[in-house]
């Protein structure tokens, strides 16, 4: 009543305020009437045209560590610049209208310039389609050009901010529009910290862009242990193995070689998913994380980072464009402490893909084959290193080590020996004269060991070789299923085919059979440790990637004994002593591997390759140390080397020097391998 009394007193300001409030309420009621009653059909149709689409979100990939927990492979932050197309939808419409008016004006269209704003308003209410001179197929091209003009203009603004000549391919934009419209378009995948700072400071003036942080695979030591660690390739389709179907998949990777491939599932973890609400135009309206990704497990290897550095640095010291391999084993349990292959490559460059030029000029060059792991996949004739097998077969056959055998001179090569029996003529690198077992071993006399091989026969020689599991899978944990590498015939095969003695003579000195450097390292380790053949082991355990988790580590495979040589201890001791003398005796072929106060025991080897117009050499040095208490087996192989002693011996010496310092606690950090 008081209010009406005030009205009656003719207070005009109060009546004006009441009128304004009443008008506002009426306006709100009119708007509510329009939305709830008059416009409900339009909103209902809009809701029906919206849809939810699922997106696969990759998990953070697990790290790969050395035996002491030092990182070999990890993850690093990477900044990416994205353009959100839904934020540019109105710009697309305005640009389309501009292009359309230009075309209509050029063609003299009657609706190129409508008769004033009132005409346009009336046309909207009448919902009359304007008379057009543009065909439907031209209309689609206009929208396509409009989108490209807008987005390329945004990219040009970004390029001006970061100081880079960025360009956006028209095909790239249209492919993204057709296939992944609801996701942001990446225009720059690797931003430097300076560029991030510039964009963070100034990107407010660029409509529709955002800087996104994502994790990417990181190889902190570059090419170090690349063949053992492996690399990743782009792979987005995981629906078959995960049993789910996604509308979109964010960028993800799959292990393509090495440990990255062999343990891909454990390292990759479990992907998550998010749901996108998409409108009828294909634009994202909102998103919800429906399942969080679970990080992959960390892989702890048996590799020792410093030993690996030493092995690669020593191999890189070989003059010329080296092609070779190094394997370092712990003879007590078969753990691989280092595995190197040259030439190598940087796994990190595979993250963004290899260009055709890079593939042609580096990866696909004949003979180089940098992706090949020569330590496990390269099959080579072992040359004189195989004389260790021949020696064991002969000793088991009853050889008297003190028996002296005369090696005849080679008339064609004065100062060199010759094996000559019937039509078998094989040149010797050692001089002619009398030889017992020890002298023949350290001088690496072909003639002497051929005689031992012929006396032992195919059965004993080849069965002895198979006791070291030559020609069989090593079962190293580098890939899910390892192909058989190397070739070693069975005794039954030799008997059935009645192989001639000349072939047996070649077998005795490591010709016509092939082994891998890893297989040879397993053999040396068995000689050193007293006759136990271990499975080589590269992976120790899998650990959770969550530092706060109390989940126990899972041992992949403890050190396992594969077999025992069942050889008499004195025979193995005789071979070990001969290997020691090969390095210590001035007459030995392995003196280049001598290390002070560290008794290195070794055997050199040089295998000749002939055929198809090719003449080459494969050089070896197979060794273990120290003699008194063997711990390390080191095998070095270099293609196209001069000889085992001159080419591979110095490489082995550098590695053994590092191992000696490692045991003595005087190790100095090795500089990063370039």
Using one digit for the tens of pLDDT, what is the confidence trace for 642-661? Answer: 999 999 999 999 999 999 99
Task: Considering only residues 345 and 478, tell me which one the structure prediction assigns the higher pLDDT.
Answer: 345
Residue 298 — very low, low, confident or very high, per pLDDT cuts 50/70/90? Answer: very high
What pLDDT, on a 0 to 100 scale, did the predictor assign at position 240? 46
The residue from 301, 327, 353 where one domain ends is 301
Looking at the domain assignment, is residue 453 inside a domain? yes
Model pTM score = 0.83
What pLDDT, on a 0 to 100 scale, did the predictor assign at position 48? 47
pLDDT at 1 over 80: no
Distance CA 334, CA 375 (A): 15
pLDDT at 570 over 90: yes
What pLDDT, on a 0 to 100 scale, did the predictor assign at position 672? 43
Helix or strand or coil: residue 237? Answer: coil
Number of folded domains that form the chain? 2
- Mean pLDDT value across residues 381-393: 97
Q: Which domain holds residue 185?
A: 52-87+161-301
Residue 225 — very low, low, confident or very high, per pLDDT cuts 50/70/90? Answer: very high
Looking at the domain assignment, is residue 7 inside a domain? no
Domain check: are 239 and 319 in the same one?
no
Identify whether the C-beta of residue 293 lies closer than 8 Å to the C-beta of residue 55: no
Looking at the domain assignment, is residue 553 inside a domain? no
Task: Considering only residues 293 and 68, tell me which one the structure prediction assigns the higher pLDDT.
Answer: 68
pLDDT at 422 over 80: yes
pLDDT at 134 over 50: yes
Task: Give the dihedral sign, CA 536/538/541/542.
Answer: negative
What pLDDT, on a 0 to 100 scale, did the predictor assign at position 242? 54
Residue 237 — very low, low, confident or very high, per pLDDT cuts 50/70/90? Answer: low
Looking at the domain assignment, is residue 237 inside a domain? yes
Residue 674 — very low, low, confident or very high, per pLDDT cuts 50/70/90? Answer: very low
- Mean pLDDT value across residues 236-243: 55
Q: What are phi and psi of 80, to 5 degrees?
A: -130, 140
The residue from 247, 275, 301 where one domain ends is 301
- Mean pLDDT value across residues 131-150: 80
Cβ burial, residue 152 (10 Å; 0-12/13-18/19+): middle
Residue 521 — very low, low, confident or very high, per pLDDT cuts 50/70/90? Answer: very high
Looking at the domain assignment, is residue 644 inside a domain? yes
Task: Considering only residues 588 and 367, tell me which one the structure prediction assigns the higher pLDDT.
Answer: 588
Q: How far is CA 566 from the centre of its chain?
A: 40
pLDDT at 529 over 50: yes
pLDDT at 552 over 80: no
Q: Could you tell me what percent of the chain has a pLDDT over 90?
A: 51
Question: Which of 127-141, 351-365, 589-603 is modeled with the greatest confidence?
Answer: 589-603
Domain check: are 321 and 256 in the same one?
no
Residue 587 — very low, low, confident or very high, per pLDDT cuts 50/70/90? Answer: very high
What pLDDT, on a 0 to 100 scale, did the predictor assign at position 205? 66
Domain check: are 389 and 330 in the same one?
yes
- Mean pLDDT value across residues 427-434: 95
Domain check: are 195 and 250 in the same one?
yes
Domain check: are 448 and 508 in the same one?
yes
Residue 604 — very low, low, confident or very high, per pLDDT cuts 50/70/90? Answer: very high
Looking at the domain assignment, is residue 59 inside a domain? yes
**Residues β-bridged to residue 532:** 564
Domain check: are 293 and 397 in the same one?
no
Domain check: are 272 and 324 in the same one?
no
- Mean pLDDT value across residues 143-153: 87
State the average pLDDT for the chain: 85
Structure tokens at 539: 């992976």
Task: Considering only residues 214 and 55, tell me which one the structure prediction assigns the higher pLDDT.
Answer: 214
Tell me: the pLDDT tens digits for 108-126? 755 544 545 545 544 544 4
Residue 155 — very low, low, confident or very high, per pLDDT cuts 50/70/90? Answer: confident
Domain check: are 383 and 532 in the same one?
yes
Domain check: are 484 and 607 in the same one?
yes
Residue 181 — very low, low, confident or very high, per pLDDT cuts 50/70/90? Answer: confident
Looking at the domain assignment, is residue 119 inside a domain? no
CATH code, domain carrying 192 = 3.90.1310.10
**Residues β-bridged to residue 327:** 339, 635
pLDDT at 460 over 70: yes
Looking at the domain assignment, is residue 81 inside a domain? yes
Domain check: are 421 and 563 in the same one?
yes
What pLDDT, on a 0 to 100 scale, did the predictor assign at position 384? 97
pLDDT at 6 over 60: no
Domain check: are 289 and 325 in the same one?
no
Domain check: are 294 and 312 in the same one?
no
Cα dihedral 179, 184, 187, 190, rounded to 10, equals -120
pLDDT at 270 over 70: yes
Strands (E), 553-600: 554-555, 561-564
pLDDT at 280 over 90: no
Residue 229 — very low, low, confident or very high, per pLDDT cuts 50/70/90? Answer: very high
Give CA separation, 657 vs 332, 446, 643, in Å: 20, 30, 21
């Amino acid at each position: 009543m008081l209010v009406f009394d005030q009205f009656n007193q003719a207070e005009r300001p109060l009546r004006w305020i009441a009128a304004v409030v009443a008008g506002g309420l009426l306006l709100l009621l009119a708007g509510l009437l329009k939305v709830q009653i008059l416009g409900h059909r339009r909103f209902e149709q809009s809701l029906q045209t919206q849809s939810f689409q699922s997106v696969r979100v990759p998990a953070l990939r697990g790290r790969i560590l050395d035996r002491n927990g030092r990182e070999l492979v990890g993850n690093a932050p990477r900044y990416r610049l994205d353009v959100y197309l839904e934020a540019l939808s109105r710009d697309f419409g305005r640009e389309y209208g501009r292009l359309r008016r230009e075309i209509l004006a050029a063609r003299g269209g009657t609706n190129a310039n409508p008769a004033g704003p009132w005409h346009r308003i009336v046309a909207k209410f009448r919902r009359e389609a304007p008379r057009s001179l543009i065909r439907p197929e031209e209309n689609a091209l206009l929208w396509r050009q409009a989108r490209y003009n807008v987005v390329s203009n945004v990219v040009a603004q970004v390029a001006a901010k970061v100081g880079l000549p960025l360009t956006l391919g028209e095909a790239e934009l249209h492919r993204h529009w057709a296939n992944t419209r609801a996701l942001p378009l990446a225009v720059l995948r690797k931003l430097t910290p300076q560029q991030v700072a510039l964009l963070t400071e100034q990107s407010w003036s660029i409509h529709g862009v955002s800087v996104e942080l994502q994790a990417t695979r990181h190889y902190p030591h570059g090419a170090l242990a690349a063949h053992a660690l492996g690399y990743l390739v782009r792979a987005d389709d995981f629906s078959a193995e995960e049993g789910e179907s996604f509308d979109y998949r964010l960028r993800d990777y799959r292990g393509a070689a090495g440990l990255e491939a062999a343990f891909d599932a454990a390292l990759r973890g479990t992907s998550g998913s998010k749901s996108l609400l998409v409108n009828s135009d294909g634009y994202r309206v909102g998103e919800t994380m429906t399942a969080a990704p679970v990080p992959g497990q960390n892989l702890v290897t048996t590799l020792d980072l410093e030993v690996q550095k030493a092995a690669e640095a020593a191999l890189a010291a070989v003059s010329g464009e080296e092609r070779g391999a190094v394997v370092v084993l712990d003879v007590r349990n078969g753990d691989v402490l280092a595995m190197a292959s040259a030439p190598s490559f940087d796994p990190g460059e595979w993250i963004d893909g290899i260009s055709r030029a890079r593939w042609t000029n580096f990866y696909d060059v004949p003979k180089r084959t940098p992706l090949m792991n020569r330590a496990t996949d390269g099959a080579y004739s072992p040359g004189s290193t195989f004389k260790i097998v021949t020696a064991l077969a002969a000793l088991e056959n009853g050889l008297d080590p003190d028996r002296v055998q005369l090696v005849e001179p080679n008339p064609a090569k004065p100062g060199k020996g010759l094996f000559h029996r019937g039509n078998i003529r094989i040149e010797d690198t050692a001089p002619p004269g009398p030889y017992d077992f020890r002298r023949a071993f350290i001088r690496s006399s072909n003639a002497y060991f051929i005689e031992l091989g012929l006396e032992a026969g195919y059965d004993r020689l080849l069965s002895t070789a198979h006791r070291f599991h030559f020609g069989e899978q090593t079962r190293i944990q580098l890939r899910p299923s390892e192909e058989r590498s190397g070739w070693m015939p069975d005794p039954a095969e030799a008997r059935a085919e009645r192989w001639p003695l000349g072939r047996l003579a070649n077998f005795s000195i490591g010709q016509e059979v092939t082994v891998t450097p890893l297989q040879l390292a397993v053999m040396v380790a068995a000689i050193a440790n007293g006759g136990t053949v271990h499975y080589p082991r590269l992976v120790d355990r899998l650990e959770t990637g969550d530092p706060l988790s109390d989940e126990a580590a899972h041992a992949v495979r403890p050190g396992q004994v594969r077999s025992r040589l069942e050889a008499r201890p004195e025979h193995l001791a005789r071979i070990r002593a001969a290997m020691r003398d090969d390095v210590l005796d001035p007459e030995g072929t392995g003196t280049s591997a001598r290390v002070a106060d560290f008794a290195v025991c070794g055997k050199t080897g040089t295998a000749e390759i002939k055929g198809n117009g090719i003449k080459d050499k494969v050089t070896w040095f197979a060794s273990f140390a120290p003699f008194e208490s063997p711990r390390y087996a080191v095998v070095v192989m270099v293609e196209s080397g001069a000889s085992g002693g001159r080419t591979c011996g110095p490489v082995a010496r550098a590695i053994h020097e590092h191992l000696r310092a490692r045991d003595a606690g005087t190790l100095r950090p090795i500089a990063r391998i370039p």
